[in-house]
């Protein structure tokens, strides 16, 4: 009887162990799949931001080059028209994506380069083409460049047309003379920017036809991508903006491996290896999680991502100006010592949220550790604008009522900044300059309390 009882106990224990082992294995596999999803989203975010920066840089670069013809026509129309072919040829050669250039006197095209293959454009009156007239009029009314498209060309392919208005009374710009239209090879631009490679890996969509932003029509991808987006970002373009969205489900589906099924079968058959498998997978998960680029407490990017992104900007072939702001909280140690670490965590989360709310969508805020934050502001080179950002952040923090367990907490921040490449083109020195200004600001704050 005792033996039967022991056998029954062994059977029951083995059965319970089997159920527990399978349940634990399923839990580990689910956790690992979540980790893969998190990594895919992180990778998407990095590639997504880089493609956005490449598109912006390419569009503004060619728009800047093309604006030279507009400037010549604004200042001396006879000189510009007499030398149109030479000027247009130089623009096409110097631009990366310029296909052809046209000049309209009033609303009628009178000059085109290259003429071969575009003869029918001569004499075209935009007023007979409502779809084109819309952006021509927008440029005239805004008195600045407007991008039309992307749109399909009659001769095949897609293009973006940059519309530059020209006025008789430069620089008052009240008497409209005509305009310059620059046709850009958007397919090559998107390919060089890495957009098409991004589309191969992820679900990507862009809206804002004719620079109409988040409310504009979709011209790449599907509406469902915006509805299930893991990341969205505004692409600033001359005279407007686009909204780009990305989702990582596509790459997750393509990377779904059979090893999940293999582990499930092995876990059911080789029970005695289950514990070791769980330990190894659990350890692997935590090591990978620890090396991820998100700060768990605040949800901001962490130190690793901050320096990765800064290094990318500095070593990019297409150099662009940017600013960094170093931030340190005043009195944070005192709050931690007096009210405990929960109060400190509360302050860090609230400050992180406030900073995120008061910077541009294109700016990136990171928590370096403790009460130290760093903000990267792309395409910002004006000291007064950076100082204005710092002022707004300080005001927002000082006006916020921080209350923890019924106690009012006094929180403020000290900040310093540095500009690339004006202050330095070396990453460590750039951060050092920003930190020195922040320390000086903190010293001034302490002296103001005395």
What size, in residues, is the chain?
A: 450
Asked, for residue 210, whether it belongs to a domain, the answer is: no
Q: Who wins on pLDDT, 439 or 1?
A: 439
The answer to whether residues 166 and 305 belong to one domain is no
At 373 the pLDDT is 96
Asked, for residue 169, whether it belongs to a domain, the answer is: yes
For residue 319, report the phi and psi dihedrals to the nearest 5 degrees: -60, 140
The DSSP symbol for 145 reads: -
273 Cβ contact partners less than 8 Å away, ≥ 6 residues apart = 266, 267
The answer to whether residues 185 and 316 belong to one domain is no
pLDDT tens-digit map of 135-152: 999 999 999 999 988 887
pLDDT over 70 (residue 90): yes
Give percent of the chain with pLDDT exceeding 90.
Answer: 58
Where is the domain boundary, 189, 213, 238?
Answer: 189
Where is the domain boundary, 189, 221, 247?
Answer: 189
Q: How far apart are CA 405 and CA 418, in angstroms?
A: 38
Residue 450 in tokens = 């005395």
Neighbours of 269 (CB within 10 A): 8
At 9 the pLDDT is 61
Q: What is the pLDDT confidence band of residue 1, given thresholds at 50, 70 and 90? A: very low
Where is the domain boundary, 143, 168, 189?
Answer: 189
For CA atoms 176, 178, 184, 186, give the dihedral sign.
positive
Asked, for residue 283, whether it belongs to a domain, the answer is: no
Give the chain's end-to-end CA distance (angstroms, integer). 86
The answer to whether residues 309 and 439 belong to one domain is yes
Mean residue pLDDT of the chain comes to 86
Residue 303 in tokens = 């130190």
Look at residues 301, 287, 297 and name the one whose alpha carbon lies nearest to residue 32.
287
pLDDT over 60 (residue 358): yes
Highest mean pLDDT, choosing among 274-278, 299-303, 446-450: 299-303
At 18 the pLDDT is 66
At 281 the pLDDT is 57
For residue 151, report the phi and psi dihedrals to the nearest 5 degrees: -140, 160
Domain count, the chain: 2
342 Cβ contact partners less than 8 Å away, ≥ 6 residues apart = 404
Helical (H) or strand (E) element with 254 = helix 249-254
285 Cβ contact partners less than 8 Å away, ≥ 6 residues apart = 31, 32, 35
Among 25-29, 95-99, 408-412, the least confident range:
25-29
Asked, for residue 202, whether it belongs to a domain, the answer is: no
Q: What is the CATH number of the domain that holds 359?
A: 3.30.70.270
At 11 the pLDDT is 60
Among 21-25, 60-64, 299-303, the least confident range:
21-25
Neighbours of 277 (CB within 10 A): 17
Q: How far apart are CA 83 and CA 111, in angstroms?
A: 11
Asked, for residue 377, whether it belongs to a domain, the answer is: yes
Asked, for residue 83, whether it belongs to a domain, the answer is: yes
pLDDT over 60 (residue 374): yes
CB 375 within 8 Å of CB 327: yes
Asked, for residue 310, whether it belongs to a domain, the answer is: yes
Residue 165 in tokens = 């208005």
Q: What is the CATH number of the domain that holds 137?
A: 3.30.450.20
Asked, for residue 261, whether it belongs to a domain, the answer is: no
Q: Is 172 exposed, middle or buried (0-12, 13-18, 19+ CB in 10 A)?
A: exposed
Reduced to 3 states, what is the DSSP secondary structure of residue 255? coil
Phi-psi region of 225 (alpha: psi -120 to 50; beta: other; left: phi over 0): alpha
Domain of 408? Answer: 301-449
Q: Is 321 exposed, middle or buried (0-12, 13-18, 19+ CB in 10 A)?
A: middle
At 6 the pLDDT is 45
pLDDT over 70 (residue 241): yes
Residue found by looking up tokens 């804002």 in the block: 208
Q: Who wins on pLDDT, 283 or 19?
A: 19
Q: What angle do CA 331, 389, 429 make, to 5 degrees?
A: 75
Look at residues 238, 200, 240, 243 and name the one whose alpha carbon lies nearest to residue 223.
243
CB 131 within 8 Å of CB 142: no
């Amino acid at each position: 009887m005792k033996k039967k009882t022991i056998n029954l106990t062994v059977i029951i224990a083995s059965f319970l162990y089997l159920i527990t082992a399978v349940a634990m294995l399923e839990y580990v596999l689910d956790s690992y799949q979540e980790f893969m999803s998190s990594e895919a989203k992180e990778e998407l975010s990095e590639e997504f931001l880089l493609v956005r920066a490449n598109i912006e840089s390419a569009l503004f670069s060619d728009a800047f080059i093309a604006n030279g013809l507009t400037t010549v026509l604004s200042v001396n129309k006879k000189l510009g028209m007499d030398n149109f072919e030479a000027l247009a040829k130089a623009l096409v050669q110097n631009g990366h994506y310029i296909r052809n250039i046209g000049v309209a006197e009033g609303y009628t095209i009178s000059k085109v380069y290259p003429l071969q293959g575009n003869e029918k454009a001569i004499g075209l009156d935009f007023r007979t083409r409502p779809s084109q007239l819309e952006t021509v009029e927008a440029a005239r009314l805004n008195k600045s460049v407007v991008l039309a498209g992307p749109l399909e060309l009659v001769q095949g392919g897609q293009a973006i047309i940059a519309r530059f208005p020209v006025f008789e009374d430069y620089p008052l710009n009240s008497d409209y003379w005509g305009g310059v239209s620059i046709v850009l090879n958007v397919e090559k631009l998107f390919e060089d920017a890495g957009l098409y490679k991004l589309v191969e890996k992820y679900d990507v969509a862009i809206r804002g036809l004719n620079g109409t932003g988040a409310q504009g029509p979709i011209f790449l991808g599907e509406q469902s991508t915006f509805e299930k987006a893991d990341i969205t970002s505004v692409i600033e373009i001359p005279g407007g903006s686009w909204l780009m969205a990305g989702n990582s489900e596509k790459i997750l589906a393509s990377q779904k491996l059979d090893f999940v099924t293999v582990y499930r079968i092995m876990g059911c058959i080789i029970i005695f290896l289950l514990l070791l498998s769980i330990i190894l997978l659990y350890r692997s998960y935590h090591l990978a999680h620890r090396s991820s680029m998100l700060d768990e407490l605040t949800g901001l990017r962490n130190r690793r991502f901050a320096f990765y992104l800064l290094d990318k900007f500095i070593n990019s072939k297409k150099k662009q100006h940017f600013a960094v702001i170093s931030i340190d909280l005043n009195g944070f140690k005192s709050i931690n010592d007096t009210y405990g670490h929960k109060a400190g965590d509360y302050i860090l989360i609230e400050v992180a949220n406030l900073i995120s709310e008061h910077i541009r969508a294109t700016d990136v805020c990171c928590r370096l550790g403790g009460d130290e934050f760093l903000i990267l502001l792309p395409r910002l080179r004006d000291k007064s604008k950076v100082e204005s950002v710092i002022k707004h952040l300080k005001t927002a923090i000082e006006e916020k009522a921080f209350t923890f367990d019924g106690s009012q907490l006094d929180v403020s921040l000290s900040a310093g900044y540095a500009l690339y490449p004006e202050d330095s083109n070396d990453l460590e020195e750039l951060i050092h300059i920003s930190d020195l200004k922040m320390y000086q600001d903190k010293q001034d704050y302490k002296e103001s309390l005395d």
